[in-house]
Amino acid sequence: MVARAADRRVQQGAMTGGPVIFPTFRPPGVSEAYGTMAPMGELPDYAERVLEVAELIPAGRVLTYGDVARWLREDAGERAADAGRSGAIPRVGGPRQVGRVMALYGGGVPWWRVVRADGVLLRGSEERALGHYRDEGTPLRPAGAGGGPRLDLRRARWAGPGGPDGS
């Protein structure tokens, strides 16, 4: 379990830098014909697993959204095998779902370490991310024509626990 804010209804969104508040009440006047939604009192299981992976990435290293999605697919397959289930691997999300989780819930973890596959910095948070990268010594590529600096993914990508980078 990942340690985050005591009130799981308020999570820091990486994209906004501010709290994302999930109401746990149903406003009066909502038709009974449509039923009710389950309260959003805790993180969905998939979001919890994405955030756990983000917390594992060492300072100065990154994983792409796709890397995180592959990691979780492999983990889901291992968990299914450990439980004695054969056949299809349980459905998990892809890079877009990882990005969505990071945007909604990622403010309490090192969000700048989960990045786009092209190394472009997160739009709207470039300066904040760049500060983290410089503080941690994350390898960067020089700014190109008309663009800002990008991550050097060949040098910055983390191979995972026990990988060749010794992390």
In a domain, 5, yes or no: no
pLDDT digits (tens, 9 = 90+) for 68-101: 999 998 876 665 555 566 555 455 789 999 999 9
| CATH number of the domain where residue 115 is located | 1.10.10.10
In a domain, 140, yes or no: yes
* Domain extent for 109: 42-156
CB-based contacts of 27, cutoff 8 Å, min separation 6 = none
In a domain, 118, yes or no: yes
In a domain, 119, yes or no: yes
**pTM strictly above 0.85:** no
In a domain, 24, yes or no: no
Domain total for the chain?
1
In a domain, 25, yes or no: no
